[in-house]
Amino acid sequence: MNILHIDCSARAHSHSRQLSAGILAHLLHLHPQARVVRRDLGHQPIAHAGDGYATALASPAAMAAAPHPDAVRLSDKLIGELEAADLVVIGTPMHNFTVPSVLKAWIDQIVRIGRSFAATSEGKQGLLADRPVFVAVASGGVYSGERPANRTS
Ligand SMILES: Cc1cc2nc3c(=O)[nH]c(=O)nc-3n(C[C@H](O)[C@H](O)[C@H](O)COP(=O)(O)O)c2cc1C
């Protein structure tokens, strides 16, 4: 049993960190032998998609001729961590009604055409196995009900 534990807040006393740590503690109680792989994006951000990676993603031919081996190395590593995980726990703040840029940088590295999803005539199809993902979100506002985008307090 492998658990991938990701945190995205830069704050030391972050609410989302506390929440994700609580979820992790509960999962470890259920699976005491589990191995935890840590990705602290808030304190150790990864690089945003750069020239080499973005160019490689443009087409299969561009991927085959990636400008240098480092272009997709980080993406390979992060996708590998995800594939090896039986459970994923993500603690994240809401930043400007979406995820913080450090989490978006991770998403841009793991959502990769031809590797983690395929574009087909029926639309996009995921290529990774389904697994439970627990997302612990902290926000300044309260979002709930049928239209959670409408702040209620
Ligand atoms: C740059 C920035 C943008 C934010 N945008 C929102 C927002 O759109 N909606 C909201 O409810 N709270 C917003 N907040 C507040 C945070 O979501 C809130 O403080 C949350 O507790 C932060 O998570 P943390 O405690 O894990 O650091 C924002 C905070 C920051 C620093």
Residue extents of the structural domains in the chain = 2-138
Give me the pLDDT at residue 74, please.
Answer: 94
| Host H or E run for residue 125 | strand 123-126
pLDDT at 127 > cutoff 90: yes
The superfamily (CATH) of domain 2-138 is Flavodoxin domain (3.40.50.360)
Q: Which tops the pLDDT comparison, 70 or 45?
A: 45
Report pLDDT for 150. Answer: 61
pLDDT reported for residue 132: 98
Distance 73 CA to ligand 1 centre (A): 31
What pLDDT sits at residue 18? 98
- 148 within ligand 1 shell (Cβ under 6 A): no
Rounded average pLDDT over 100-104:
98
pLDDT of residue 152 exceeding 60, the answer is no
Q: 118 or 64: which carries more pLDDT confidence?
A: 118
Q: Which residue has the higher pLDDT, 26 or 151?
A: 26
**Could you tell me whether strands 2-7 and 133-138 are parallel, antiparallel, or unpaired per DSSP bridges?**
unpaired
* Rounded average pLDDT over 84-92: 98
8 A C-beta contact, residue 20 and residue 5: yes
Q: Two tokens at 32?
A: 């005491």
Integer Cα distance of 99 and 104 in angstroms: 6
Question: Which of 139, 142, 143, 150 to mutate to test ligand 1, by most ligand atoms within 8 A of the CB atom?
Answer: 139
Output the average pLDDT for the chain: 92
CA atoms within 13 A on the CB side of 114: 12
Identify the pLDDT of residue 58: 84
Q: Whose CA is nearest to atom 4 of ligand 1?
A: 95
